Amino acid sequence: MGQPRFGYIDWLRGFACLAMFEVHCYDSWLSPAARHTAFYGWSRFSGILPAPLFLFLAGISVALVTGRMRKKELGGNQIAATTIRRGAEILGLALLFRLQDFALAWPWSPWTDLLRVDILNTIGVSIVLMGLVCWIAQGPVANLLTASAAGLGIAMATPPLWTTWRPRWLPWYLESYVNGVHNLDKPQAWLFPIFPWAAFAFAGLVAGLLLFSEWAEENPEKTVSLLGAAGVGIYYLSVWLDVSPVRLYAVYDYWHTSPNFFLVRVALLLGGMCLGYAWCRWGAGEWGFSPLMQMGQTSLLVYWVHIEFVYGRFSILKKGSQTLAAATAGLAIIFVAMVLLSMVRTRWKGRGAEFWASLRRPQRTATEA
């Protein structure tokens, strides 16, 4: 992502981090009285974007990396294996994060939290699934068609898998990856199962395959504009489908499982990508240092650390007891701290060997003396 033309992807990832901070901080810190306000309601509404945006950008990143490997003339099996390995690494980190969260919350955290399906788990599984698509459909065109079918298939299979076709025969910790049931005997809207969340990653893969095609490399502005226009068309298609008298599902839950709501969020993601590109290409996003672009380069670290200072044992404010002003001040502190942490990370990235060598040098000098 070091190339300027891809800076908008980092900026979008940083914007997702900021939106995530806003939702998490107000949710963790506000008092019961502060929660009964219109402002808090709107702050919760903005939470519909961070998770889909992270998954969408993960799909774009997979398209970028696989495209570079194809240009190096690597085989389809090797491309798929590399992608699957990366997804497995993210899933492993997600399980490690759950272990850390459980240990820091001991003895209040139940052991079932170790098996909770959170956003990192779904990103890891989604990347593995995208790697399988790269293996099944080798070639950009076949990959594009297969990814489109996979994304739509996941979105359309979500309603019955949450209701009438629930795989109850699976252990709850495996069924939770399908519909977020956890150990509570019914799907939970606050979790991130494969259905429908992985569909956003495949939407990002489709967008990325178009963004990094040969024609798009020669016409980047036109490509982004066309994707933004496609977002407008997808939005009106979703509205038309929602008011249509035809009903495909026995249980229709617009805000949680409906493919129509999935299409609305995909439309917002495409429109946001278009705006982010314009902001970084011609707007203030290219004026020197960008906190969002900086934070987007280390979004995994930022996600990992901020959780403990907002929800965890080391929360910087007392949870569930703050006024709106106090929680907003805490949000500003978290944002500045995470930008500084990101700067330290990027400055010291790859310098670990130099650091340890500098520590060993005085010891060698003393031994020689």
Residue 267 to residue 53: CA distance in whole angstroms: 11
Q: pLDDT at position 360, please?
A: 62
Residue 354 to residue 172: CA distance in whole angstroms: 47
- What is the enclosing helix (H) or strand (E) of 234? helix 220-243
Does 196 or 351 have the greater pLDDT score?
A: 196
Tell me: the pLDDT tens digits for 129-168? 999 998 888 778 899 999 999 999 999 999 999 999 999 9
Q: CA 332, 104, 124 angle in degrees (round to 5)?
A: 75
CB-based contact 25:327 (threshold 8 Å): yes
Determine whether 83 is exposed, middle or buried from the number of CB atoms within 10 Å of its CB (0-12, 13-18, 19+): buried
Q: pLDDT at position 3, please?
A: 47
Task: At 181, list the tokens.
Answer: 């049931």
pLDDT at 355 over 80: no
Q: pLDDT at position 2, please?
A: 42
What would the mean pLDDT of 9-28 be, rounded to a whole number?
95
Candidates 8, 2, 4; CA nearest to 207 is 8
Q: pLDDT at position 6, please?
A: 78
CB-based contact 55:99 (threshold 8 Å): no
pLDDT at 125 over 90: yes
Tell me: the pLDDT tens digits for 277-304? 999 888 777 678 889 999 999 999 999 9
Task: At 44, list the tokens.
Answer: 């919760």
% pLDDT > 90, the chain: 75
CA dihedral defined by 25, 29, 30, 31, rounded to 10 degrees? 170
Q: Does a cis peptide bond (omega within 30 degrees of 0) precede residue 196?
A: yes
- Report the SS3 class of residue 322: strand
CB crowding 193-228: b at 16 or more within 10 Å, else e: bbbbbbbbbbbbbbbbbbbbbeebeeebeebbeebb
Q: What is the pTM of this model?
A: 0.91
Place of tokens 């900086």: 294
pLDDT at 96 over 80: yes
Phi, psi of 314 (to 5 degrees): -100, 25
pLDDT band at 367 (very low <50, low <70, confident <90, very high): low
Q: Where are the alpha helices (DSSP H) in 311-351?
A: 324-348
- Report the SS3 class of residue 288: coil
CB-based contact 101:112 (threshold 8 Å): no
Residue 266 to residue 233: CA distance in whole angstroms: 11
Q: pLDDT at position 358, please?
A: 60
Q: pLDDT at position 351, please?
A: 61
Task: At 149, list the tokens.
Answer: 């079918």
Candidates 261, 321, 233, 293; CA nearest to 7 is 293
